[in-house]
Structure 1
């Protein structure tokens, strides 16, 4: 009888250990309700970054998620990253993570983490091919800031369902020199509506997209160069939808 009780206790202990391992393993990012805003710049520094940080923090306060901010690459380590549902690259530029930090971020995504890139996130880490495939494109050039018409091709996604089919606004519009295959494009720009300058891409010129990548989720929006963007209701709702998608939320 004593032996039976001992066996039951051993089995129960083993089951509890398995539950603990599962709950703290690859699913950590899905259970978190906090995001990290990363805005380190090694090249051009966008003056709108403070406005972007303030706007995202306000979105968090209004929509029930917490926000941390950093320009310190040392925060890209396994122990720190595992507390976040998503990491937002808010206009970082140049080479911002060393090899060890890159490996930590790759593992974070492979463990089910989320990524959101805003504007200059495509002007970042050109020598890190994995990152290029995560964010989905690399910047090549842009003309002067001007109004243009955006074509919203997917109005069912959480980031675009509130947008008009034709969305006219002013921003800095990127041309891309490389794009990853199989991106799920949400918004494109109509090059006939503005002067795209050198490097224009023609009829196929995506501006916002998402995809599942290497075990995690990735969302990118080219919009958000100007301070005014972060006071614009339609853009803020677009930004919020991208954050929610990266966090693994559907609404």
Structure 2
């Protein structure tokens, strides 16, 4: 007997699925309760509103169906990440002097971020390559050697056309991305990258100052070992747009910022929903993001900088989950 194969059911992108139920109050309440509602949608009573929610034309959000498990990574060979710190604009002091060309050029003690990530990898069983040479990102084949790519305080147009294409193909093939601090001040005019950040971009920041971070999701690999509240000092980025359809992991309590949160370009802050760390699936890949990481002392290990240990646990868990070593965005 001849049978006719049933057509495969096509899974709609998460963006379309969410749009179809956006008018339902019960769904909105559920998203608020699980920390997946956007900051821009205004779950709190104070702060900037209507900060934009564009559709990037890709599957994105917290649904694992947006991930492409296409066999591009053999974890039996161990785990390896690429740290990218090229700056084409302002350069954070914790990056130290600009690096030479090629992969893994010499670093000095002033290259705090690079040395800290090398130590973190050595202590936790994964290899770290680092570069500021855009040609090292020129092909997807080169990037597929890494379980995750880390942008740490890159700035402005730090990628050329070849590197943009490679990063996009790498993410679409199931790659992991970690964006730290001024990764949000990078590639402003590339909508796909803005979506990779969770529909978020740096706008301005208030004074660098101490504040209290709230761990709002304690299930994730990056936050499960953190206290519910912990002290930290940073610039506390204000974002336009602000993240949407992501799993918020940590927020800053704006009421603890003694010098206020109003930015140098007059952003009023995000009120009750000032996210500082979140995660999402995006266009086939994994993306873990944090706006924290301004001060070189955040990598200190002597207890002299409040919150340094918590910050290091946060980004270690983010890196390990983005590269698939630990569960992602739970």
Q: Please list every run of 5 or more consecutive structure 2 residues that lacks an aligned counterpart in the other structure.
A: 1-68, 96-110, 301-307
Q: Is the 8 A contact 1:30 1:113 kept in 2?
A: no
Larger of the two Rg values belongs to structure = 1
Q: Name 2:279's counterpart in structure 1.
A: 210
TM score, norm. by length of structure 2: 0.67
CA–CA distance in 2 between the matches of 1:147 and 1:101?
37
- Tell me how far apart the structure 2 counterparts of residues 201 and 239 of structure 1 sit (CA, whole Å): 23
Q: Which residue does 1:42 correspond to in 2?
A: 88
Instruction: Assess if the C-alpha contact under 8 Å between 1:142 and 1:173 holds in 2.
Output: yes
Match of 1:70 in 2: 131
Q: Is the 8 A contact 1:30 1:112 kept in 2?
A: no
Partner of 2:235: 172
Pairwise CA RMSD of aligned residues? 1.4
Contact 2:213 2:229 in 1 (8 A): yes
1:132 maps to 2:194: yes
Q: Which residue of 2 aligns with 1:104?
A: 166
Gaps of 5+ in 1: 1-24
- Cα distance in structure 1, aligned partners of 2:201 and 2:227: 27
List structure 1 segments (4+ residues) > 3 angstroms apart after TM superposition: none
**Structure 1 residues 51-70: aligned runs within 5 Å:** 51-70=112-131
- The residue matched to 2:166 in structure 1 has which SS? helix
Higher share in strand: 1
Aligned partner of 1:228 among 297, 301, 304? 297
Write the distance in 2 (CA, Å) between the matches of 1:189 and 1:123: 19
Please identify which structure carries the higher helix content.
Answer: 1
Count, aligned residues: 227
Q: TM-score, normalised by structure 1?
A: 0.87
In the alignment, does 2:92 pair up with 1:27? Answer: no
2:248 paired residue number:
185
Q: In structure 2, what is the Cα distance between the partners aligned to 1:98 and 1:209?
A: 27
Q: Aligned-pair distance for 1:134?
A: 0.5
Separation of aligned partners in 1, 2:279 and 2:309: 21
